[in-house]
A and B are shown apart, each in its own frame.
Chain A
Amino acid sequence: MSDETKSRRIVPIGPYHPLQEEPEFFKLIVEGEKVVDLEIHIGYNHRGHEFISPELTYDQVPFLVERICGICSNSHPLAAVLAIEDCAGIKSPPRANFIRSIIHELERIHSHLLWVGLAGHFIGYNTVWMWAWRYREHILEVFEMITGNRNHYTVNKPGGVRWDIKPEYIPQIHAALDLVEKKTMMLTKAVLDDPVIRARLEGVGILTREQAIAWSVLGPTARGSGVDIDVRRDDPHAAYDQVPWNVIVLPEGDVFAKAKVRLLEIFESVRIIRGCLDNLPDGPIDVRIDEIPPGEGVGRTEAPRGEVFHYIRSDGSNRPIRHKIRAPSYMNIASNVVAVRGGSIADAALTLAAVDPCYCCTERMAAFEDGKMKYSGQELLRLSWEKTEKLREGLGKSHYQEGRLE
């Protein structure tokens, strides 16, 4: 051991620790107080969605992908149904598009408020946590009113939406939005003007624009680093091209900028919802899908954490034969390796949380035997290529039709 590495110590965070509610394992490699490197171990949350999805029919798939993540429980089904609709070559009716946008933005408000609260909790400022989560309740009430459930609202289905926004709901949604907007304004001023919070967040965990592009980060993490990227604007889906709104981009790249982006996005979301409610067209909320022809489809949407991408391959039956999911947190969490380097241990926990990590979204692939990793990355890649080749050969006569599953 050389002199340089002699003074290095490892600070483990996780897998079960009070800071974050999900299991994950970070190894901080420190020299004194300074963090010099980071190792990220994930896999505690892998449940095998991509394996289960081909066992389900297209109508059931949104229910499954909704359970990827409890916070993005509209983003994943929306991306999945967009992929299914792309595959089937149909378009959802205009009213369904507007309802999708409304629910999607309500979800963004509750997710961003949730993050702001947790960020306050991480820096030991529990007042912010209690405030933010209290006002978040009003959004959950709107969800409960429209869909009957506080979370996992199952609004999307292939061809449209399951729940209509009835005329009597609209004043109540407006009332909730007014309240949340007013309180978020108060919270934003309190958070952004507080000298202690500024001192604690400014200049911490900087991810420069070049690093953000090199690590392919997405969502508010990228927009806080000056990367102007937003799928809602770049690839309009639902009703995003029919109402006015702005993409919030800040150049600083520190935790403070990320917090600011999220807080300001809440106001843009409120604007989108108001625009959608005012212009809500009449008509049916779904169309009938008779057949999904063999082929493939992609769907992408801007989740609160970044772009969610779903790929669906169909063989003409009523189940997908391949469903690939790409969630934004995977790239965002990896960027922590550069963001925490050089900071102090006390800031590390905050920096790790600043990307709004979502491990349930992240963990798409893992193979373990007796608690040890079974395949390396290269082996997995090879297996995946082989599987794709097999699928290509057998497209149209899938093994799912041969009675392997009922």
Chain B
Amino acid sequence: MKDLRIWGLKKSPWVYHLAAASCNNCDIEILELLTPRYDVERFGAVLVGSPRHADALLVTGVINRKSLPRVLEVYEQTPKPCLVIAIGTCACNNHIFRNSYNAVGPYDKYIPVHAYIPGCPPKPEAMILGIVKALSKL
């Protein structure tokens, strides 16, 4: 049964985009992935509106004190197994905000992260590569 789930996940990963406290840039580059230049839909990746439909979470930004409970809630709502892909240096290691009083991230302190894509923001090509690598590890 688990193999079947992973097979389904690899074929067409539906992604949910979760911005904790980001600067918007990684989020825009994620949307950029869906638009004609990069068009990840040709690989079967679709942006979905609810974490309950998602196979993969694309997480961006540092987590702050207010968004932390919401991030955990979204993670709980996502059906398992799910991939968590940290996009941007903020999501990987808090970046320039590491001394901030309000940043409680990064994500891997709270939820398992399968792939890290550093960059500020990472180029869409790097994001595609990261997602493909994460999927091929399954």
- Taking beta carbons and an 8 Å cutoff, which residues of A are in contact with B? 15-18, 21-23, 43-48, 51-52, 55, 63-64, 67-71, 73, 114, 117, 129-130, 133-134, 137, 150-152, 358, 360, 366, 368, 371
A52: which B residues are within 8 A, CB to CB?
96-97, 99-100
A371 and B29 contacting across the interface, CB-CB below 8 Å: no
Which residues on the B side are within 8 Å of A46 (C-beta)?
21, 64, 66, 102
Given contacts A129-B35, A133-B32, A134-B37, whether A48 and B103 have CB atoms under 8 Å apart is: yes
Q: How far is the CA of A368 from the CA of B27 in the complex (A)?
A: 25
Tell me if B65 counts as interface (CB < 8 A to partner A): yes
Complex Cα gap A150–B28 (Å): 11
A70 adjacent to B64 (CB under 8 Å): no
Question: Which residues from chain A contact B102 at a C-beta distance below 8 Å?
Answer: 46-48, 366, 368
Which residues of B are found within 8 Å of A67, using beta-carbon distances? 23, 25, 95-97, 120
Among the stretches B4-12, B67-75, B79-87, B109-117, the one at the interface with A is B67-75
Q: Which residues of A contact B67 (CB under 8 A)?
A: 15, 23, 44-45
The answer to whether A69 touches B66, judged by C-beta atoms less than 8 angstroms apart, is no
Pairs of residues from A and B, 3 with the lowest C-beta to C-beta distance, nearest first: A70-B25, A18-B49, A133-B35
Q: Which residues of B contact A371 (CB under 8 A)?
A: 65-66, 69
Check A130–B36 contact: CB distance below 8 A.
yes
Residue contact A45 to B64, C-beta cutoff 8 Å: yes
Asked whether, in the complex, the Cβ of A368 is within 8 Å of the Cβ of B62, the reply is no
B21 and A358: CB pair below 8 A? no
A350 to B26, CA, bound (A): 23
| Contact indicator A73/B36 (Cβ below 8 Å) | no
Is there an interface contact between A47 and B31, defined as CB atoms closer than 8 Å? no
Task: Answer whether residue B121 sits at the interface, using C-beta atoms and an 8 A cutoff.
Answer: yes
**Residues of A close to B37: CB separation below 8 A:** 133-134, 137
Please, how many residues of chain B have a CB less than 8 angstroms from a CB on the other chain? 44
Per DSSP, are chain A's interface residues mostly helix, strand or loop, or mixed?
A: loop
CA A79 to CA B29, docked complex, whole Å: 25
Which B residue sits closest to A67, measured CB to CB? B23
Residue B20, interface by CB 8 Å: yes
Q: 12 A–B contact pairs at CB < 8 A? A: A21-B28, A23-B20, A43-B64, A45-B22, A48-B102, A52-B99, A63-B96, A67-B23, A150-B121, A151-B25, A151-B28, A152-B121
Does B120 contact A150, Cβ atoms closer than 8 Å? no
B137 → chain A, closest Cβ, in Å? 26
Min distance, Cβ A144 to any Cβ of chain B, angstroms = 9
Judging by beta carbons under 8 Å apart, are B18 and A16 in contact?
A: yes
How distant is the Cα of A366 from the Cα of B21 in the complex, in angstroms?
Answer: 13
From A133, which residue of chain B is reached at the shortest CB distance? B35
Q: Which of B27, B31, B96, B121 contacts A64 (CB 8 A)?
A: B96
Within the complex, the shortest CB–CB distance from A100 to chain B, in Å, comes to 20
Which of B24, B32, B47, B62 has the most chain A CB within a 10 Å cutoff? Answer: B24
- Bound Cα distance A151, B30 (Å): 13
Whether a CB of chain A sits under 8 angstroms from the CB of B19 is yes
Check B64 against A44 for contact (C-beta < 8 Å).
yes
* Distance, CA A267 to CA B64, complexed state (A): 39
Min CB distance, B11 to chain A, in Å? 23
